[in-house]
Every structure is written in structure tokens, then in C-alpha cells.
């Protein structure tokens, strides 16, 4: 399932387009990101982690959790704070370091 793009948050920086290993993300004429081939997305989340504007969100595939289960990253300089919301609305947060000293 491709990432959800929040159009109001997308700043058109192009990072998601640059980083997608499948070359699936593009900017439209309004400089907003979209996935041009949804069926080809394999949920690697590279684009979601690259977005500094919280404009992308992963919807957890139905095999793992029904809607409204969500996984939302907040990218900081040296860590990502993941917010996981399960199907009952329970919220868990995880911090993952992305840089070593
Ligand atoms: S990385 Fe985020 S802000 Fe930049 S173009 Fe992609 S969705 Fe928009
Ligand atoms: S989740 Fe991975 S494959 Fe899918 S659009 Fe983002 S970067 Fe590309």
C-alpha cells in the first residue's frame, strides 16, 4: 500500500521522489507528491522516513492491522519517533536512533 500523502503538509521538496528505490514517487503540477504506481509500492517506508514535513504516513497493510491502524514517523536530526496507532486507537511511541556518535 503506498504512503498516504497529506497534500496540505507537502512542501514539494522532492526528497521522497529522490529516495524511492522503485522510482514511484513524483510531484504533480502543484508540486505535491503522489505515488505514480500504487501497486508497485512494497512499503519499504524510505519515502516516509525521508519526509521532514510529516506529509507522508504508512497505512499498515490489512494483513497486519485493519484500518485505522497507522504508523507515523516524526523525523529528527538523529532519531525517528514512531507513533503506532493500533486498530483500537491505542497509541505507542518508539524512538529509533538513526545516527551513531
Ligand atoms: S518529502 Fe514530504 S514534503 Fe517533500 S515532496 Fe515528499 S511528501 Fe512532499
Ligand atoms: S514506501 Fe518505498 S516503495 Fe513505496 S513509494 Fe515509498 S519509497 Fe517507494
Beta strand 56-59 with 4-5: parallel, antiparallel or unpaired?
Answer: antiparallel
pTM of the model: 0.78
Q: How far is the CA of 39 from the centre of ligand 1 (A)?
A: 20
Q: Which of 59, 60, 48, 51 is nearest to 13 (CA)?
A: 51
Of ligand 1's listed atoms, the one at least distance from the Cα of 25 is 6
DSSP 74-101: EE-SSEEEEEEE-TT--EEEEEEE----
CATH number reported for the structural domain that contains residue 29 in this entry: 3.30.70.20
Ligand nearest to the CA of 73: 1
pLDDT tens digits, one per residue of 56-94: 998 877 666 677 788 888 888 889 999 988 888 899 999
pLDDT tens digits, one per residue of 10-41: 999 999 999 999 999 999 999 999 999 999 99
Which residue range is the domain that position 23 belongs to? 4-97
Question: With 70 as the cut, is the pLDDT of residue 101 above it?
Answer: no
Q: How far is the CA of 67 from the centre of ligand 1 (A)?
A: 23
Number of domain units in the chain: 1
Amino acid at each position: 500500500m503506498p504512503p498516504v500523502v497529506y497534500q496540505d503538509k507537502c512542501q514539494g521538496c522532492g526528497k521522497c521522489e529522490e529516495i524511492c528505490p522503485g522510482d514511484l514517487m513524483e510531484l504533480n503540477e502543484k508540486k505535491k507528491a503522489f505515488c505514480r504506481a500504487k501497486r508497485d509500492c512494497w512499503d519499504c517506508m524510505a519515502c516516509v522516513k525521508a519526509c521532514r514535513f510529516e506529509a507522508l504516513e504508512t497505512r499498515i497493510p490489512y494483513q497486519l492491522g485493519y484500518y485505522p491502524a497507522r504508523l507515523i514517523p516524526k523525523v529528527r536530526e538523529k532519531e525517528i519517533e514512531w507513533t503506532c496507532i493500533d486498530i483500537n486507537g491505542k497509541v505507542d511511541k518508539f524512538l529509533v536512533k538513526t545516527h551513531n556518535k
